[in-house]
Structures are given as structure tokens and as C-alpha cells.
């Protein structure tokens, strides 16, 4: 990205933000879909990311020649953290409600709308069992293809921290994803068949992503 466009973004030029959105919105959206497993929630996250980018535009350094993707993914990571906290508060509120008013669990219905439903559900459950830092590094580097340096910039940590977290995440996920798939297959006879094809973009899964990452 050239210096002029960076300067225009920092100055709040709407046309420059349109260019930024056109270039990066689909990448941010795909990342959110993979993390959340919910295309509607990912749309909301994508909107919030670019609203936050507008609010934080003065943090863009116009003299830098570096791409803005790590900056956007850093914002996206924070939005996803806030989304997760809000979801936990919502779940806690539901648990405090009387049993007669409890809402039905639509998790299986949601997973049934995604390609490779069994594997994606297993991947997300396995990811949820990692430490947050390991999970964020894995999704940024393996699922969304950021380099170690870009992920370090996005998360505000050292490159060595990214390397060590990713190594731990890969090792644990190889085991956890296999356990989750095994447990899922054991429950398959009691669940309705999954509908396919609602999300057009393929979703790299934990085991598959790990195999590619080691090539």
C-alpha cells in the first residue's frame, strides 16, 4: 500500500477507506467465519472491524511501506475477543433463567449448514480447548495465512512468541481434533444428517491445516 493511500486513510478520506474495504473485507470475513463457524455473526464482526478501523485510523503511520493487513487483523482479533466475552455473558444469563424459559440450543442446526460439518465442529471444539493465545496464533497463521511477523504485529507480541505458541497449538490440536472427531462419530447415530453447501468458501480444518502446515 503506497504512502499516499495510508495518509488518506489516516486523514479519514472516505474513498481511501472504500479501497481498504474492497481490498481486505473478504479476507477479514473469511477469518471470522472460520473462527466463529457462523456466517451471519462473521458479517457483523467484519462490519465492526472496519468501524473500529475508522475510529483508530490515526494509528496508521503514513510513512510506513508495510501492508495494512496485520493492523486490520489486530483489530479483528480484538473484536472477536469482545464477541466471545459477550457470548459468555449471554450464556451465563441464559443459565440463570428458569428452566421453562431456557432457549433451545441451535448449535447442531448451525453446524449442519456448513461444509464438512463434522470436521468443522470438531475443529472448533478442539480450538476452544487451547489457550487463547495459542488459538489466535493458529487461526491467524494457519487458517488466514499471516506470516509470523504479521501475526506478531497483529497480536502485539514478539515473533518468537508466535513461533512457540504455534508449535504448542499444532502439537495439541493434532491430538485434540482426533479426539473430537472420534467423539463426534460416536454420536452420529443419534443426530440428524447434516445439510451441505450453505457456505460457499471452503473452511480449512484443524487436521487438514496441520498437514499442510508441516509440508
CATH for 41: 1.10.1740.10
Q: pLDDT-derived band of residue 83, with 50, 70 and 90 as boundaries? A: confident
| Residues 146 and 101 placed together within one structural domain of the fold | no
| Residues 132 and 162 placed together within one structural domain of the fold | yes
State yes or no: pLDDT of 95 exceeds 90.
no
User: Which one-letter DSSP state was computed for residue 189?
Assistant: G
Domain of 73 in residue numbering reads as 1-107
By C-alpha distance, which of 67, 210, 78 is closest to 149?
67
Q: Which residue, of 107, 139, 154, is where some domain finishes?
A: 107
Name the H helices within the chain. Answer: 3-11, 14-36, 39-55, 69-96, 107-111, 117-128, 132-138, 148-155, 159-187, 206-213
141-192 pLDDT, tens digit each: 988 889 999 999 999 999 999 999 999 988 888 788 777 667 666 655 555 5
User: The domain spanning residue 180 has which CATH number?
Assistant: 1.10.10.10
| Residues 120 and 194 placed together within one structural domain of the fold | yes
| Residues 10 and 64 placed together within one structural domain of the fold | yes
Give the per-residue pLDDT at 143.
84
| Residues 1 and 101 placed together within one structural domain of the fold | yes
Overall pTM surpassing 0.75 (yes/no): no
If one counts the domains in the chain, the total is 2
Q: Which residue, of 51, 84, 107, is where some domain finishes?
A: 107
Amino acid at each position: 500500500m503506497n504512502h499516499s493511500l495510508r495518509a488518506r486513510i489516516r486523514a479519514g478520506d472516505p474513498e481511501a477507506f472504500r479501497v481498504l474495504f474492497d481490498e481486505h473485507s473478504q479476507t477479514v470475513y473469511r477469518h471470522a467465519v472460520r473462527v466463529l463457524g457462523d456466517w451471519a455473526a462473521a458479517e457483523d464482526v467484519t462490519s465492526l472491524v472496519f468501524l473500529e478501523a475508522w475510529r483508530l485510523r490515526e494509528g496508521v503511520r503514513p510513512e510506513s511501506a508495510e501492508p495494512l493487513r496485520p493492523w486490520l487483523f489486530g483489530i479483528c482479533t480484538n473484536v472477536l475477543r469482545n464477541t466471545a466475552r459477550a457470548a459468555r455473558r449471554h450464556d451465563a444469563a441464559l443459565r440463570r433463567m428458569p428452566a421453562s424459559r431456557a432457549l433451545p440450543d441451535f448449535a447442531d442446526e448451525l453446524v449442519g449448514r456448513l461444509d464438512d460439518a463434522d470436521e468443522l465442529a470438531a475443529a472448533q471444539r478442539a480450538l476452544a480447548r487451547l489457550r487463547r493465545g495459542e488459538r489466535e496464533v493458529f487461526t491467524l497463521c494457519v487458517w488466514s495465512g499471516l506470516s509470523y511477523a504479521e501475526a506478531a504485529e497483529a497480536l502485539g507480541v514478539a515473533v518468537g512468541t508466535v513461533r512457540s505458541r504455534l508449535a504448542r497449538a499444532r502439537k495439541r490440536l493434532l491430538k485434540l481434533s482426533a479426539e473430537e472427531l472420534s467423539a463426534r462419530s460416536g454420536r452420529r447415530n443419534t443426530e440428524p444428517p447434516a445439510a451441505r453447501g450453505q457456505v460457499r468458501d471452503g473452511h480449512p480444518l484443524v487436521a487438514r491445516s496441520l498437514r499442510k502446515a508441516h509440508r
